[in-house]
A = this chain, B = another copy of it.
Amino acid sequence: MGLVVHKFGGSSVADTDLIKTAAKRAIETKKGGDNVIVVVSAMGNETDRLYELASQIMKNPPSREVDMLVSTGEQVSIALMSMAIQSFGQDSISFLGGQIGVRTDGYHEKAKIIGIEKEKVEAALAEGKIVVVAGFQGTDKQMNITTLGRGGSDTSAVALAAVFGADVCVINKDVDGVYTADPRIVPDASLLKTISYDEMLELAGMGAGVLHSRAVELAKKHSVPLRVRSSFNEKPGTLVCVEDPNKEQPMARGATFNKKEARVTISGVPDKPGMAATILKHIAERNINVDMIIQNPGHSGLADLTFTVPKSDLHETLGVCREVSGQIGAKDVTSSENIAKLSVIGSGMRAYPGVASRMFTALAKENVNIQNISTSEIKISCIVAEEDCDRSLRAVHHAFELDKVE
């Protein structure tokens, strides 16, 4: 007898009819001979409703009380889910994070799971029950309720799958699986049958929105296969798993973009060791994530340093940069919000020469100006003007024949 973890997101449990549909899927798995743990998010927009109530009380409410508040969303869902399962004659029991010892650190609103106790869940499974667990939450050492941050229910599901040695963690969502690109922008995007953890991480990191990076990282660490599929149909979806080393990989498996970053350039930086480090250290101290760092050696011993930061952090970043550039004698600080980061991702890149040139050729044909470039082992990214983003994505998707990838 195996074990399957079924995770249902907010839109999959948005009303009581959908909860019943989800319950039927869990029961089907159980009848197929596997034990089942169900992890649920809050119903529909319930979490937003709760945050809104808090914001009516005060700006920046104390985070311990925020966690006390928003964790009720999942609690409502597990109770209704367990009722729904029992209404179909299948025994079930619901548990809060704290009740099954989902122990976290004490960082409210962004806690990390430290451990999960096994006794209660194993006992309930042994009694033939479907165990329903509240995602997104745990308790710290003092039994304060903590939450894992937005998207934390995926992380909860993967953590449970890892601890109890599940054969698969099924992420039931409102999409059919992982596509080679956003189908709203690229109509001939294909649904992937499989994708590797690393490829999925690059996609998630780019904000592709299907899975949270933390959940994928955890799945990779513990080799938990993830199946991303739709709650609303019977299609198999996409399996996120270890790459099969014996299978030939396509050059690329996905194309995506990120419009949420801004670009900062510090020009005329004295070209001597430690300058870039000094600048970036000051930014890191503000907890701002820096990406796509490019340094161009300029003339007369001066260099230009370019990087991207989230648009929401641009104002603060510019303040830091102006201060530091004064101290180190740099010439100027400029920025642009009118950018998009376009990326092509694929483990197969390692084996193919000419990946970059294929991308540049595709963009050149579309008369798109490439502003910056960065590459990793399995990803190549270009910065383009924001208004060029969508047609660039379609061009790149076509150039890498992603419509033919499975």
The residues of A with any CB-CB pair to B shorter than 8 Å are 16, 19-20, 50, 53-54, 56-58, 61-62, 64-66, 68-69, 71-72, 75-76, 78-80, 82-84, 86-87, 93-94, 96, 99, 143-145
Contact = CB atoms under 8 A, between A and B. Distances in A.
Nearest to A62: B86
A69 B132 CA distance: 13
A94 B96 CA distance: 18
17 contacts: A19-B57, A20-B57, A53-B80, A54-B83, A57-B83, A57-B84, A58-B84, A58-B86, A58-B87, A61-B83, A61-B87, A62-B82, A66-B79, A68-B78, A69-B79, A72-B76, A96-B145
A248 B191 CA distance: 86
B65 A79 contact: yes
Per DSSP, chain A at the interface is helix
Nearest first, the 6 closest Cβ-Cβ pairs linking A and B are: A69-B79, A58-B87, A68-B79, A72-B72, A16-B56, A57-B83
Contact of A53 (B53, B75, B76, B93): B76
Contact of A83 (B58, B71, B99): B58
- How many copies make up the complex? 2
Nearest to A74: B72
A143 B94 CA distance: 12
Given A71-B75, A96-B145, 17 more contacts: A16-B57, A19-B57, A20-B57, A54-B80, A57-B80, A57-B83, A61-B86, A61-B87, A62-B82, A62-B83, A65-B79, A65-B82, A68-B78, A68-B94, A69-B75, A72-B76, A99-B144
Contacts of A68: 75, 78-79, 82, 94, 96
